[in-house]
Structures are given as structure tokens and as C-alpha cells.
């Protein structure tokens, strides 16, 4: 694990300290809490980027996908 220096505004630090004061928190330190928050933030950004890539694929292939969906519905509607 590497150590880095991060500047945090006083208000955010106060929020972190208030959360850390609760006995039931799962973190042992501010650092652990911030690491967990960053992991979740990075995972969210990666998920959003993946969703955007998928949306772009759907946009690029919209016409073909619509034709395939219509053909499938017609096929399933046959007696």
C-alpha cells in the first residue's frame, strides 16, 4: 500500500469525523473509510463508463436491433 497526501476541506473532514464517532462503523480509521469511499467511487465511474459504451453500441446498431426485434415478435406471434 502506498501513502499519499490529500487535502480535504474542513467541512468534509468534520463529516468524516462525525461518522467515525459512531461505534457501529465498519472502519477502523479515517484512511480506511476514505479508501472504501474511493473504491466505491471508482467502481461507480467504471460502471457508468461501461454503460455509456453499451449505450453507444445500441445507438450505433439501433436499426438492425429494431428489425431483429420486430422479426422475433412476428415469429413468436405465429400460431
pLDDT band at 48 (very low <50, low <70, confident <90, very high): very high
In a domain, 4, yes or no: no
In a domain, 3, yes or no: no
pLDDT above 70: percentage of residues in the chain? 100
Residue 33, all three cell numbers: 473509510
pLDDT band at 15 (very low <50, low <70, confident <90, very high): very high
pLDDT at 78 (0 to 100): 83
In a domain, 1, yes or no: no
Judge whether residue 79 has pLDDT over 80. Answer: no
In a domain, 2, yes or no: no
| Calpha distance 34→12 (Å, rounded) | 11
Contact indicator for 33, 19 with CB cutoff of 8 Å: yes
| Calpha distance 46→70 (Å, rounded) | 33
In a domain, 17, yes or no: yes
Task: Say how many domains are in the chain.
Answer: 1
pLDDT band at 23 (very low <50, low <70, confident <90, very high): confident
Question: What domain range is 48 assigned to?
Answer: 10-77
In a domain, 5, yes or no: no
What's the pTM value of the predicted model, to 2 decimals?
0.71
> Does 23 or 26 have the greater pLDDT score?
26
In a domain, 53, yes or no: yes
Amino acid at each position: 500500500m502506498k501513502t499519499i497526501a490529500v487535502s480535504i476541506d474542513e467541512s468534509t473532514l468534520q463529516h468524516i469525523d462525525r461518522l467515525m464517532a459512531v461505534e457501529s462503523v465498519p472502519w477502523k480509521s479515517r484512511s480506511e473509510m476514505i479508501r472504501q469511499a474511493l473504491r466505491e467511487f471508482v467502481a461507480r465511474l467504471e460502471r457508468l463508463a461501461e454503460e455509456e459504451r453499451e449505450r453507444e453500441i445500441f445507438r450505433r446498431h439501433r436499426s438492425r436491433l429494431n428489425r431483429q426485434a420486430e422479426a422475433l415478435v412476428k415469429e413468436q406471434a405465429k400460431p
